[in-house]
Amino acid sequence: MKKVFEAWQDEPTCSITFAPPEAIAEERASGSISDEAKFLYRMEADTYEEAMAVHHTKMGWGPYVPMGEAQACPKECGAMFYPEGSGDCPNCGNIC
């Protein structure tokens, strides 16, 4: 199942926040992201690792390196996932 992610650039600090919209809303409500923050883009991805790979490309950064090694999904769906990262299989959802 696809998940939505948004990228925001906070103007006063030039920091970039990349997270699901719910987390962005919480950060804005707490003041961690200022009212001057500029929306950059919204995207959908099957996993956090996929989203981060695309985010790094869009930002012109070097390749994203996920935490840990990719492993075959234990549900034998044929996909790979990162148990030390998000723990999300692109086919089966959250595994660990």
The mean pLDDT of the chain is 95
pTM for this one? 0.89
C-alpha span between 15 and 79 (Å, rounded): 33
Mean pLDDT of 17-41: 95
pLDDT at 96 (0 to 100) = 87
DSSP-derived 3-state class of residue 77:
coil
Quick one: pLDDT at residue 55? 98
* Structural domain spans, the chain: 3-59, 67-96
pLDDT of residue 66: 97
pLDDT band at 11 (very low <50, low <70, confident <90, very high): confident
Q: How far apart are CA 94 and CA 78, in angstroms?
A: 15
User: Tell me, what's the pLDDT at 1?
Assistant: 79
The helix, strand and coil proportions of the chain, stated in percent and rounded to the nearest 5, come to 25, 30, 45
